[in-house]
Structure 1
Amino acid sequence: MHSAANQQSRDSQAATGLKVVFNILDKWGCSITQVQHILGISRAALYRYRQNPQSASLSRDQLERLSYVLNIHASLRTLFDNPKNVYGFMSLPNDNPYFNGRTPLAVIGSGQFADLYETFKRIDALRGGLW
């Protein structure tokens, strides 16, 4: 059973995370549809949460999706010093086996949780992440 204080703390963290993730996704050049798919939210919720992140009530799946976006971004910041590369990497075609010429953004834009995980895993591995 979650206490009201725990729920408020989680909602506050979700609101903060949403603001940061929306900023990252905007800088990656995501379309509205891609943002919906990546975060697993409806168009109405997307607009509502952008206007008022405090109104967000996110599921565990959605919180995990936020976490993966933040972790992908953190890995890119470790890999690259140049902001153009940090934010541009996701929209560049990638010829590595998993991506097969697709952009990482196209892969995670599918909305499949596994694609988000696999994309993070491969980007994290570039920086020497241990799995």
Structure 2
Amino acid sequence: MHSAATTHYTSLAEEPIEALGGPALRAFFRLAESWDLRVVDQRKLLGNPPESTFYKWKREQDGSPGRDTIERISYLLGIYKSLHILFNDPEQADAWVHRPNQAPLFGGQSAMERMLSGNVADLYVVRQYLDAQRGWN
């Protein structure tokens, strides 16, 4: 049982953030498979957790990632969802992140290259870009 002093709550569902770990990690690893991500890229997108922690999460599909990792996964899932709304073809949606993009935000790089900077802000920017493409300003 968590004490009131150590329990962190999300603003969305008022669930302890620790309860989101397993579902978030399972969703992330499914997304990583859909996007055909290398392990090094998966770790970078998650905020570079220690290698042993990453492999434990991957093996068990469960764990207690911190708030930063949950936030990163949330942005990535939003990006994935937006792409699958924007593109009728799932293969095209999943391939988009790897294609060079001439939009000023990307400057000829792919969205994945932008997201692999390691900064959570870059995940946010890609998510905002796709939301704008969907007309969700």
TM-score (structure 1 length as normaliser): 0.87
1:115 paired with 2:122, answer: yes
**8 Å contact from structure 1 (residues 30, 105) kept in 2:** no
Higher relative contact order, structure no. (Cα contacts within 8 Å, ≥ 6 residues apart) = 1
Q: Which of these residues, 73, 80, 83, is aligned with residue 80 of structure 2?
A: 73
1: CA distance between counterparts of 2:116 and 2:50? 14
Q: Which of these residues, 25, 43, 48, is aligned with residue 56 of structure 2?
A: 48
2: CA distance between counterparts of 1:28 and 1:90? 8
CA displacement 1:80-109 (0-9 Å, x = unmatched): 110111111101110100100111111111
Alignment of 1:28-67 (within 5 A): 28-40=35-47, 41-54=49-62, 56-67=63-74
Q: Residue 81 and residue 36 in structure 1: after superposition, are their counterparts in 2 closer, same or farther (change >3 A)? A: same
**Secondary structure of the residue that 1:91 maps to in structure 2?**
coil
Q: Residue 20 and residue 118 in structure 1: after superposition, are their counterparts in 2 closer, same or farther (change >3 A)? A: same
Q: How many positions carry a matched residue from both structures?
A: 127
2: CA distance between counterparts of 1:22 and 1:37? 13
2: CA distance between counterparts of 1:99 and 1:77? 20
1:2 offset after TM fit, Å? Answer: 5.6
TM-score (structure 2 length as normaliser): 0.84
2: CA distance between counterparts of 1:113 and 1:104? 13
Unpaired runs of 5+ in structure 1? none
CA displacement 1:9-62 (0-9 Å, x = unmatched): 6434221111111111221122211111111122221111011122x1211111
2: CA distance between counterparts of 1:46 and 1:76? 26
**Secondary structure of the residue that 2:94 maps to in structure 1?**
helix
Unpaired runs of 5+ in structure 2? 10-14
**Secondary structure of the residue that 1:92 maps to in structure 2?**
coil
Root-mean-square deviation (Å):
1.8
**8 Å contact from structure 1 (residues 65, 113) kept in 2:** yes
